[in-house]
Structure 1
Amino acid sequence: MEAKKNPQTEIGRNSSIYFAIGLNIMLFLSWQALEYRTYEKSDVEIDILNVEAEEEEEEIPILNINMPPPPPPPPAVIQQNIQIVEDVVDIEETVIESTETNQDDAIEERVVSVSDVYVEDYEEDVEVAFAVIESVPVFPGCEGKSRAETKECFQNKIQKHVMDNFEYPKTALEMGIQGRVSVVFVIDTKGHTINVRSRGPDRLLEEEAERIINLLPQMKPGMQRGRPVKVSYAVPIYFKFRPS
């Protein structure tokens, strides 16, 4: 014979509900314990302070100062400039005529002859390189030669001129400055040397190279198409010393 259990007497029937209620109660108590604050108590003496406001009345004396009244303003002076103008003024009207033409206007025929045409001579400032000039400049002492001989003589004279007038700058020599200086200059239509420009390793060497070129004598100018023109020429000058 089996024993039957009464469902009302079962102990674990509502255990989950009791567990949830107990868990909530413990969480509430824990939160209250964390939020609980304590304060330091100190002896504070509370008393009533009666302050009576004392109003001090200061008497301000009244002074009667007799000041003279301000002087009256000067009387206004009114100047009346009366100009008599005639009622009727003659105005000269300017008539602007139209400059437009129409088909009724005749056009004056004018015949221009060749003698009426004036051609102004314009001297063109042309600068030609030494390599392509028709007639190279003639250095003093190179006269009466062919074009090739005159060109070669010119180059030889330039080299001789550089060697004869060459002076190594003392400051550059002490500082050990050396190198190549390229000098470009122009021989104008009068045979003078102008526009001397140089480029080198140092300004001391450039100034010496320009000084040498500026000492060139006057030459016979170069010719292009039978007219004197400016001729540009470039020459390298080497500055080199041997250490002792």
Structure 2
Amino acid sequence: MKKIIYLLIILLSINKIDAQSEEITETFPIYKGCEKEKNKRKCFSKKINSHFLNKFRTNQIKNITPGIKKIYIIFSINKMGEIDNLKIRAPHKDLELETKRVLQLIPKFVPGTINNKPTSVKYSLPLAVRVEMKKPHKIRKTPWQ
């Protein structure tokens, strides 16, 4: 009986060693235009930040005090390369809506993989947005008015 127990312990130990020796290869989701970059994660972050910088419109937001507003975004990039499970936390509802609008403009990603199989990857993105006070538009009078 002791021999059988020792044999089972040895077999289980061998299985653990084999499981540990398997290599797990992971790839991070790739933003359009980062396919040939060496550091794809860094490129991904740069592209996302650039996208928000170019597309986010603070001038559309009304009834909000000026200053720097922090927005926290958590989302997944699913197996199809689309944004999924979106959660946005912002100090104002209009900031949340604008953030959602900008995220919907992001092009489809190349999905992340584990062992060459597409997988969903969670991503969090903290943003700091400067909201400035709107200056009233002055109408200049011309000499002939």
Does TM, scored on the shorter chain, surpass 0.5?
yes
Cα deviation, residue 177, structure 1: 5.6
Residue 114 (structure 2) aligns with:
224
- Which structure features the higher share of strand residues? 2
**Secondary structure at 2:122 match in 1:** strand
Residue 88 (structure 2) aligns with:
198
Q: Report the TM-score when normalising by structure 2.
A: 0.67
Deviations 1:35-70 (A, max 9, x none): xxxxxxxxxxxxxxxxxxxxxxxxxxxxxxxxxxxx
Residue 163 (structure 1) aligns with:
53
Alpha-carbon distance in structure 2 between the residues aligned to 1:169 and 1:186 = 28
**Letter in structure 2 aligned against 1:182:** Y
Asked if 1:233 is matched to 2:123, the reply is yes
Structure exhibiting the larger radius of gyration computed from Cα positions:
1
Give the RMSD, CA atoms, in angstroms.
2.0
Q: Which runs of 5+ in 1 are unaligned?
A: 1-132
Number of residue equivalences: 109
Asked if 1:136 is matched to 2:25, the reply is no
Q: Report the TM-score when normalising by structure 1.
A: 0.41
Aligned pairs (5 A) from 1:5-24? none
CA contact 2:64–2:92 (8 Å) conserved in 1: no
Q: Which runs of 5+ in 2 are unaligned?
A: 1-24, 136-145
Deviations 1:131-155 (A, max 9, x none): xx92111111111333xx1111111
Cα deviation, residue 171, structure 1: 4.1
